[in-house]
Amino acid sequence: MNAPGKVTPDHLRRIAYLYVRQSTLHQVNDNRESTARQYDLKRRAQALGWRSDQIVVIDEDLGLSGASGSLRSGFQRLVAEVGLGRAGVVMGLEVSRFARSSTDWHRLLEICALADTLILDEDGIYDPSHFNDRLLLGLKGTMSEAELHVLRARLIGGQINKARRGELWIRPPIGYIYNAHQQMIFDPDEQIQRTVRLVFETFRRIGSAERVVRHFAAEGILFPRRLVTGPRAGEVVFVPLEHYRVLHLLHNPRYTGAYVYGRTRQRKVVVGATIHYRRLPRDEWKVFIPNAYPGYISWEEFDSNQAKLRANAAGYGWDRRRSPPREGVALLQGIVVCGRCGRRMRVQYHVEKGHPIPTYICVRDAIQKSEPACQTILGTGVDETVSQAVLESVTPASVDLALEVFEELRARKAELDRLHRAQVERSRQEAELAQHQFMLVRPENRLVADTLERQWNEKLRQLAEAEQEYARVSESDAHAMSKEDRQRIQSLVTDLPQVWNNPRTPSRERKRMLRLLVEDVTLLREEVIRIQIRWKGGATTQLKLPLPLSAPDLRRTPAGIVEFVRALATEQTDAQIARTLNARCLRSGMGMPFTAVSVRRVRQAYRIPSLVEHLRREGWLTAPEMASMLHVHSSTAKRFAQEGVLPAVRADDRGQILYQPPHGPLPTAHPGKRFRDRRVYPKLATHTRNEVQSDA
């Protein structure tokens, strides 16, 4: 394989690439020897005939690990240069370590073989297009991958063995430190220890991580955190407690005093360098040594905490993305997004008159940091508006339009189909013609026969292509719609409102139907509630909904009625106003008919003067005032009013009479007998002020 015959003038015209890679800085700094070996390789290339200006060094990957070629730009460049046919030879120390993964290495070999590029290392020169050389190079690659595997297995195996004895150092959770004998003990800092205990105690008492956060926030207690990186690494700072920290504490079995290792399994994802971690069930943990050191809680308490957290999580599903439809009545459960922060909103229910009423609430920060909820929106109005929009979007007219568009597209496809079929037909005729011509030629006329055969072959190839294309096109057209299909779709549409509005349709089914049409719904509470429906397929619909009334607002007398009362109060007593309002079928904020008492309450609430106050302001007189003005006894004044001599009204429901201030001559103190007619008196009660004035 060292035969110099492998190097041809064509190789020498191209460039010689020297690929340099040393995986760690340690090697870069200390392994001076390899630099010398690389110069050696250069000299060998020159001895084989390359000029020194033809030798290019690729050393971008210095200090990068060889585990995968996908991140190393130098290796990529090398592959590209080889692929472009610019490389005559690729050189390196132990070439098989160019790429530590077998696939990268074999790809490089394949490309070298295709581009007729040689490979040179300290052992010799190889031509990857020769079977023997390639076999050898392949083996070298496999061996070096195996070496890497063994190396890693040894490292990890050593680590696990150490962990099995409970001796592997793992960063201690807050509340613990290592002592001088490498044993984990409670943190001697009293404040840290007590705060950690307080979290467990508070959770034991109230059973909710969220409320532990709230308790800490309300009491102003800070939680210790050990800085891991930065110039202050190792120091402890006290910060407000956050929800995820409580969860870490509660989920961490090490607080029971157990030594635990290997609770997660990692999995690399090909695209990018992300690593996914998966939590393992307890019986798959690699190492589990109970009571290895003092615990903050018992193992039983840890288990019961896990059960409590699981139960809580069913209700507090903030971390759920687009959750599956559940039983509750909230239509948008699982697909509702907060318009302020973009997080999923969750559903809370309260019961009103025996019915569950949903509320959409965005609480991520509220749970995490015990802050007020981001948004709270009553569900009833929103659900109804969205239902309405969905039913409106799926009308017979809109579906007819969609079906028409579908038909149009199908008609266009049918046209294309005809063209394709014609194309196939023509190709077949041409192929048959070519075959016919070939058959006619005499066998001894070789030259003509060869030409005709080539033409025949060409025609057959064209026919095969046309047939393939036709098959491809007609396959995508497989979903033609029959008349029955059409009718079924149309009847579905007319049935939808019935099914949707049927109270016997389970909420879960209604939600499933909704999800067939709607991607998600965004809610934003401003001066109105803005609803944005994002339909499947990307179209959006914006809707507005007035803010729902608050509880006192719901009981409040409507503003129009208050104004009506204000107008009536200048002429009518409370009982009269109540009768007037009830005659017009007006109802209070509670939906009840009006009474004198409820009218008085409305007047007092809105500072509307009563008829008495109103008339008094206008100078109307009470019975004693009128009596003193007339120099008569007040019962006489009253009698004058009863008998119609003095203009007066009953100004309240207890019968208080107010007298209009006199303008003309005052009546005499000795009225005749005719004024004693008491039948006038009841009329007073129904007098309105205008009647009195027109009488006057």
Backbone angles phi, psi at 323, to 5 degrees: -80, 155
Q: Each residue of 471-484: b (16+ CB within 10 Å) or e?
A: eeeeeeeeeeeeee
Residue count (the chain): 696
Q: Quick check: is 23 catalytic? A: yes
| Min dist. Cβ of residue 521 to Zn ion (A) | 14
What's the CA gap between 569 and 127, in Å, rounded? 111
Query: Looking at 270-278, 361-369, 567-575, 649-657, which segment touches Zn ion (CB under 5 A)?
Result: 361-369
Query: Looking at 19-27, 357-365, 594-602, 604-612, which segment touches Zn ion (CB under 5 A)?
Result: 357-365
Catalytic-labelled residue, pool 23, 129, 474, 507: 23
Is 373 or 586 the residue whose CB approaches Zn ion more closely?
373
Is 513 or 524 the residue whose CB approaches Zn ion more closely?
524
Place of tokens 């046209």: 415
Is 44 or 340 the residue whose CB approaches Zn ion more closely?
340
Q: Residue ranges of the alpha helices (H) in 396-523?
A: 396-440, 446-476, 483-501, 507-517
What's the CA gap between 346 and 357, in Å, rounded? 14
Is 115 or 345 the residue whose CB approaches Zn ion more closely?
345
| Min dist. Cβ of residue 585 to Zn ion (A) | 44
Is 90 or 336 the residue whose CB approaches Zn ion more closely?
336
| Min dist. Cβ of residue 241 to Zn ion (A) | 21
Considering only 196, 246, 331, 338, the residue that binds Zn ion (CB under 5 A) is 338
| Min dist. Cβ of residue 342 to Zn ion (A) | 7
DSSP state of 229: S
Contacts of 397 (CB under 8 A, 6+ apart): none
Is 192 or 338 the residue whose CB approaches Zn ion more closely?
338
Considering only 341, 433, 549, 605, the residue that binds Zn ion (CB under 5 A) is 341
What's the CA gap between 376 and 358, in Å, rounded? 11
What's the CA gap between 449 and 2, in Å, rounded? 49
Lay out the site mask for Zn ion across 287-326 (x = CB under 5 A, - = otherwise).
Answer: ----------------------------------------
What's the CA gap between 204 and 206, in Å, rounded? 6
Which helix or strand (DSSP H or E) is residue 169 part of?
Answer: none
Residue 336 touches Zn ion, criterion: CB under 5 A: no
Q: At what angle do helices 102-115 and 73-83 cross, to 10 degrees?
A: 30
Considering only 48, 374, 531, 651, the residue that binds Zn ion (CB under 5 A) is 374
Is 336 or 692 the residue whose CB approaches Zn ion more closely?
336
**Do 568 and 578 touch, CB atoms closer than 8 A?**
no
- Give the footprint of Zn ion on residues 589-628 (CB under 5 A): none
Residue 566 touches Zn ion, criterion: CB under 5 A: no
Considering only 45, 111, 260, 362, the residue that binds Zn ion (CB under 5 A) is 362
Is 340 or 508 the residue whose CB approaches Zn ion more closely?
340
Q: Which of 500, 507, 515 is nearest to 322 (CA)?
A: 515
Q: Please work out the total of residues on this chain that contact Zn ion, with binding judged by CB under 5 A.
A: 5
Backbone angles phi, psi at 671, to 5 degrees: -70, 160
CA torsion 590-593-599-601 (nearest 10°) is -30
Is 332 or 561 the residue whose CB approaches Zn ion more closely?
332
Give me the DSSP letters along 67-133.
S-GGG-HHHHHHHHHHHTT-EEEEE-TTGGGG-SSHHHHHHHHHHHHHHT-EEEETTEEE-TTSHHH
Give me the DSSP letters along 174-227.
TTEEE-TTS-EEE-S-HHHHHHHHHHHHHHHHH--HHHHHHHHHHHT-EEEEE-
What's the CA gap between 89 and 250, in Å, rounded? 61
Query: Looking at 121-129, 131-139, 367-375, 497-505, which segment touches Zn ion (CB under 5 A)?
Result: 367-375
| Min dist. Cβ of residue 517 to Zn ion (A) | 25
Considering only 225, 251, 286, 340, the residue that binds Zn ion (CB under 5 A) is 340
Query: Looking at 269-277, 371-379, 459-467, 511-519, which segment touches Zn ion (CB under 5 A)?
Result: 371-379
| DSSP3 helix / strand / coil % (the chain, rounded to 5) | 50, 15, 30
| Min dist. Cβ of residue 346 to Zn ion (A) | 11
**Do 89 and 17 touch, CB atoms closer than 8 A?**
yes
Which helix or strand (DSSP H or E) is residue 681 part of?
Answer: helix 680-686
Query: Looking at 61-69, 131-139, 188-196, 339-347, which segment touches Zn ion (CB under 5 A)?
Result: 339-347
| Min dist. Cβ of residue 476 to Zn ion (A) | 43
| Min dist. Cβ of residue 362 to Zn ion (A) | 3
| Min dist. Cβ of residue 363 to Zn ion (A) | 8
Query: Looking at 206-214, 335-343, 409-417, 575-583, which segment touches Zn ion (CB under 5 A)?
Result: 335-343
Query: Looking at 15-23, 373-381, 388-396, 452-460, which segment touches Zn ion (CB under 5 A)?
Result: 373-381
| Min dist. Cβ of residue 334 to Zn ion (A) | 16
Is 137 or 362 the residue whose CB approaches Zn ion more closely?
362
Provide the binding-site residues for Zn ion, judged by CB under 5 A: 338, 340-341, 362, 374
> Could you list the active site residues?
23
